[in-house]
Amino acid sequence: MKHVKSAAPGKTILFGEHSVVYGFPAIAMAINIQTKCELQEIQKDIIELRFKNYGLSLNSSSLSKLITSFPESFKQYGLCFKMLHEKYGIEFNKLRVTLSSDLFPGSGLGSSASTAVSLISAINNFYDLNLLKEDISKLAYKMEEIVHGSPSGIDNTICTFGNIIMYKQGNFEFLESFSDLQILISYTNIEHDTKNAINSIKKLKKKRPGLVSKYLKEMGEIANSAKMELIDGNLVSLGDLMNRNQQLLSLLGVSNKKIDLINKIALQNGAYGSKLTGAGLGGCVISLGERKALQKISIILNEKNIPNFLTTRNETGVHLIE
């Protein structure tokens, strides 16, 4: 019986979240925490879907019935099957699809994009569609539109291609950086809401266009400066830029007390820089520093029941696994 398994990395925004929506550059890094999708041929003439992290299982004898059976928060998957059926004529029968992720949901780590990319990649290989990575990324973006409204395109891009990228207005370039770039990712235990965060800044920009535009422009300048520091491997300067980026995000109203607490703990215990990553209003915090300092911070956060993990960049992007 045919069997395919695909994995896609999560991501973290190092610099430029929110300002990227307004045409400024942002820098994102794929991380070695992944989502996996497994496709198995089965004997029953049905399609089964299993979302392990959510305890959700769906099955149907027809694709059309399956598409309409997705709960509201999962309807992007219905769109995926619908798009691929209409474009390639795939019937999706005698098939079991199992999705699982090690990423915190609603955390700013690209869990929805990582899941979308791993699913499309697995389908691509199972049905021999010969899609390029660019095609996988574009299809994942359409799924992201349902989840996030007006996504920047960073998440689907970085989860597909991996590594570190600078992204601006639909274009991206891979960035060179020293290999031992390590970050500590801490979870606030508050799911963020990307749509809400983006809309809150839109509203603020209408009220105070000059000030908000100034903040967004500076965030773009920070991303450009960070590009050079990444190439040079200057952790201290990267940390300084990270801290200023966090100040601007706070001024835009997308930080909160839990994020501020984690940043304070990190900076007081040896991190060079610390900031929210992703939409904000919850989600995750990233801290940059030497490995020993990050390990010390991790222990302190664990004592305060704040989930965290040390990670490095993922260089492969989406790929098949055994």
Please state, in angstroms and as integers, the Cα–Cα distance from residue 30 to each residue in 13, 14, 40, 70, 317, following that order. 9, 10, 27, 29, 7
CB 143 within 8 A of CB 80: yes
How far apart CA 115 and CA 10 sit, in angstroms, is 9
Residues 6+ apart with CB under 8 A from 176: 230, 231
Element (H, E) at 68: helix 63-68
CB 10 within 8 A of CB 30: yes
Structure tokens at 112: 């929805």
Burial 36-72 (b: 16+ CB within 10 A, else e): bbbbbeeeeebbbbbbeeeeeebebeebeebbeebee
Catalytic one of 45, 102, 155, 193: 155
Sort residue 270 into left (φ over 0), alpha (ψ -120 to 50) or beta: left
How far apart CA 215 and CA 15 sit, in angstroms, is 13
For residue 223, the one-letter residue type is A
- Asked if 155 is an active-site residue, the reply is yes
Sheet bearing 182-187, strands edge to edge = 273-277, 284-288, 182-187, 308-312
Active-site residue list: 155
